[in-house]
Amino acid sequence: MAENRGDSGRDRRGGKESRRADELIGALSLATDLGVGEPLEHGLRTTVIGVRLPASLGLDEEARREVYHVALLRYAGCTAESHLGAALFGDEIAVRAAMAPVLQGSRAELFLAITRTMRAGEPARWRAVAVARALVHLQDAFRKGTAGHCEMTQVHALRLGLGANIQAALGDVFERWDEPVTAPCRPHAGGVRTDAESFRQEVSVHGPPPGDRVPPGPRDTV
């Protein structure tokens, strides 16, 4: 893959090869929507919002392209931690869907979303035991799960010949606004992607604010 990228880590694929890779990434995004319990085309809608934000922020075309790929590939590592979620939560896809609207919220909001959904349908006594177990193991499970998820998305990006900045941003997709970034990179496709998904989740739950619309920007194709 090294021949596809220059020293700067920029995407150097030819036009025809790039289009084929983008079609594959788009199809992968549709599959991962189902794997994380989101409505079909959630990743595509997040991407449409995401690619408009760099223009609003005055970022360049390269940054916009990075956001495009990070938004589409963000959940491509979702199966890396599925076994951890299933062992802890039962129906881990349902729990993922419940977590998504509060993923950037407080720890209390996140834990409440999990406990309301995990082991649904099981007797209350068993659920209480499962919640107590989750309190003990949740932090370690998240740490291992997010590390495996990010590593897998970075492997996908490498094999697709995407640039080093995209690979780095895919390692940061679970960084939170209230915690220091452990591996900071350039103005930051992962952060813009997070803002776009947060906006998308807010609209899906509450609808758009009166008179509001997606931030204006250039055309949605990259």
Position 104 scores a pLDDT of 80
Calpha distance 129→168 (Å, rounded): 39
Position 151 scores a pLDDT of 92
Calpha distance 41→39 (Å, rounded): 6
Q: Name 114's Cβ contacts closer than 8 Å, sequence gap at least 6.
A: 89, 95, 98, 99, 134, 138
Calpha distance 86→90 (Å, rounded): 5
Burial 79-109 (b: 16+ CB within 10 A, else e): ebbbebbeebbbbbbebbbbbbbbbbeeeee
* 7-206 has CATH 1.50.40 classification: no
Domain-wise residue ranges, the chain: 7-206
Calpha distance 185→40 (Å, rounded): 30
Position 142 scores a pLDDT of 85
Question: What backbone torsions phi and psi does residue 38 show, to the nearest 5 degrees?
Answer: -100, 155
One-character DSSP codes across 150-178: HHHHHHHHHHTT--HHHHHHHTTTT--TT
Which residues of the chain carry a pLDDT beneath 70? 1-17, 177-222
Calpha distance 76→28 (Å, rounded): 7
- For CA atoms 218, 56, 222, 30, the dihedral sign is negative
